[in-house]
C-alpha cells in the first residue's frame, strides 16, 4: 500500500512539473475611433464619388483582435508553440475578413503550431507573413492601418484588380494559408525568414503554391530589409466569389527593399518596391516608393509622417500620392490615444486608400482625419 501511495505521489509531482513547463495566454487589443473622410466609395473599385462620410471605425492603428497563444518546454532548448488569432470589428462586433469572399472566420489571421529551438522557429498553418513584418520595420509609420506602407501596398493590389472581398491579394500577401515558415535566429543583427506554402491542388503541383524569402538586419538603430515573394494562382476567386480553376500559373511577384534609421529621437525611413503579374507583365506592373520622418518628443508622445507614391509602369497616367501624419500619446502602458490626418491624390485608374476599409474612388483625391483610442490586454 505504501508503495502505491509513493507511486501516486510521484505521478502528481511529475504532472505538476510538466504543467509548470506549459503556459497559455489570452491576449488582444481594441482600437476604435471617429473617422471623417471626403470622397468615400461603396466598394474598393467604385468610380462613383459618394461624398463625405463620418463614422465610428475600427482600426485606426491596427485592427482589433483577440487570440490565444501557448508554449510547452519539451527540454533541450526546444519548445512547442501554438497561436490562434482573429480580428473583429468593434463598432459591429463582426468577425474580420477571411480568405474566402464574403466569409468570416473566428481566427482569420493566424492558426499555427510549431517548434522553436536554438536553431530558429518553424511554424505551420495560416499566418501573417514575414514580408509584412519586414515592411513594418522599415516604415516610420510602422505599417499602420492609416496612411502607411501597408495602405500603399494595398493600393498596388487594388490597381491589380483585388476587389477587397477576401484576404487573397493580387501582389504579395498579408496572410497565407497552408504556410510553412522558418525564422532563423539573429546572427550579428542579421536574420533570414523562408516560407513555402503547398497549394494542395490535385494534379497541379504548382497550383496555389507560395514561396517567399526575407533577409533583415537590425542593429545600432538601423533596420534594413529585403523581400522576395512569388505566388501561383493568386486571388483565385471570380468577382462573384466563385473559385476559379487552379492552373499553376505564376501570377504574383513582389520585390521590396527598405531601411529605417533611428538616431536619438529622430527616425527616417525609405523603401522601393516592384509588384507585377509575371503572366501578364504588360498589364499589371507597378512601382511603390516611400519616405518617412518621425520624432519621439517624450517617452509617451511621438509624431510620425509618411509619403507613399504608386506608379503604373505600363500606363503613366495611373499614379497616386499619399501623405499622412499622426500623433500618438501613451496614456498608460496599455492604452494609447491617437490623432491622424491624410491626403491622397489618385490619377487615372489608381484608387489608393488613406485608411484600410475606407475606400476612395478611382482617379479621385480625398482627405481623411481620425481620432481614436487603442487598448492592449
Residue in the block written with cell 497550383: 207
Strand partners, 342: 324, 368
pLDDT given at position 15: 42
pLDDT given at position 242: 83
pLDDT above 90 covers what percent of the chain? 78
Does 1 reside within a domain? Answer: no
For residue 166, give the DSSP letter.
S
Q: What is the mean pLDDT of residues 192-220?
A: 95
Residue 16 pLDDT exceeds 60: no
Among 37-51, 107-121, 208-222, which stretch is predicted with the lowest mean pLDDT? 37-51
Beta strand extents in the chain (DSSP E only):
22-37, 53-58, 64-75, 78-88, 110-117, 120-128, 175-183, 190-197, 210-219, 222-232, 250-263, 266-276, 285-298, 301-312, 319-330, 335-347, 365-376
Residue 150 pLDDT exceeds 50: yes
Does 13 reside within a domain? Answer: no
What's the total number of domains in the chain? 1
Could you give the angle at which helices 130-137 and 149-159 cross, rounded to 10 degrees? Answer: 130
Does 247 reside within a domain? Answer: yes
Q: What is the mean pLDDT of residues 293-308?
A: 98
Does 105 reside within a domain? Answer: yes
What's the pLDDT tens digit per position in 167-195? 999 999 999 999 999 999 999 999 999 99
Q: What is the mean pLDDT of residues 37-58?
A: 76
Within 10 angstroms of residue 37's Cβ, the number of other Cβ atoms is 24
CATH number at residue 159: 2.40.160.10
Does 203 reside within a domain? Answer: yes
CB 333 within 8 A of CB 351: no
Domain, as residue range, for 233: 23-376
pLDDT given at position 10: 39
User: What is the Cα–Cα distance from 97 to 95, expressed in whole angstroms?
Assistant: 7
Residue 165 or residue 340, greater confidence: 340
Listing DSSP states for 238-249 in one string gives -TTSPBPPP---
- The burial of 181, by beta-carbon neighbours within 10 Å (0-12 exposed, 13-18 middle, 19 or more buried), is given as buried
Amino acid at each position: 500500500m505504501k508503495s502505491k501511495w509513493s507511486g501516486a505521489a510521484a505521478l502528481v509531482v511529475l504532472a505538476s512539473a510538466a504543467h509548470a513547463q506549459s503556459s497559455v495566454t489570452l491576449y488582444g487589443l481594441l482600437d476604435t475611433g471617429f473617422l471623417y473622410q471626403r470622397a468615400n466609395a461603396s466598394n474598393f473599385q467604385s468610380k462613383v464619388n459618394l461624398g463625405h462620410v463620418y463614422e465610428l471605425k475600427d482600426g485606426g492603428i491596427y485592427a482589433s483582435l483577440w487570440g490565444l497563444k501557448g508554449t510547452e518546454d519539451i527540454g533541450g532548448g526546444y519548445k512547442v508553440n501554438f497561436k490562434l488569432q482573429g480580428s473583429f470589428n468593434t463598432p459591429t462586433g463582426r468577425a474580420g475578413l477571411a480568405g474566402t469572399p464574403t466569409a468570416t472566420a473566428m481566427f482569420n489571421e493566424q492558426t499555427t503550431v510549431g517548434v522553436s529551438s536554438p536553431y530558429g522557429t518553424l511554424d505551420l498553418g495560416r499566418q501573417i507573413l514575414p514580408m509584412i513584418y519586414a515592411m513594418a520595420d522599415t516604415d516610420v509609420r510602422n505599417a499602420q492601418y492609416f496612411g502607411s506602407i501597408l495602405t500603399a501596398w494595398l493600393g498596388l493590389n487594388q490597381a491589380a484588380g483585388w476587389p477587397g472581398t477576401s484576404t487573397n491579394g493580387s501582389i504579395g500577401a498579408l496572410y497565407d494559408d497552408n504556410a510553412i515558415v522558418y525564422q532563423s535566429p539573429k546572427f550579428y543583427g542579421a536574420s533570414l525568414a523562408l516560407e513555402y506554402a503547398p497549394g494542395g491542388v490535385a494534379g497541379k503541383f504548382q497550383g496555389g503554391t507560395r514561396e517567399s524569402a526575407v533577409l533583415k538586419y537590425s542593429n545600432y538603430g538601423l533596420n534594413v530589409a529585403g523581400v522576395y515573394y512569388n505566388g501561383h494562382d493568386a486571388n483565385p476567386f471570380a468577382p462573384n466569389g466563385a473559385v476559379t480553376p487552379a492552373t499553376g500559373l505564376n501570377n504574383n511577384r513582389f520585390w521590396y527593399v527598405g531601411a529605417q534609421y533611428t538616431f536619438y529621437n529622430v527616425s527616417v525611413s525609405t523603401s522601393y518596391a516592384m509588384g507585377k503579374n509575371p503572366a501578364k507583365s504588360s498589364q499589371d506592373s507597378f512601382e511603390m516608393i516611400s519616405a518617412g520622418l518621425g520624432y519621439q518628443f517624450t517617452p509617451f508622445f511621438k509624431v510620425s509622417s509618411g509619403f507613399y507614391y504608386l506608379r503604373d509602369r505600363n500606363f503613366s497616367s495611373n499614379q497616386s500620392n499619399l501623405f499622412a501624419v499622426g500623433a500618438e500619446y501613451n496614456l498608460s502602458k496599455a492604452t494609447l490615444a491617437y490623432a491622424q490626418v491624410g491626403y491622397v491624390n489618385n490619377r487615372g485608374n489608381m484608387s489608393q486608400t488613406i485608411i484600410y476599409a475606407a475606400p476612395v474612388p478611382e482617379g479621385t483625391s480625398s482627405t481623411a482625419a481620425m481620432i481614436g483610442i487603442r487598448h492592449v490586454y
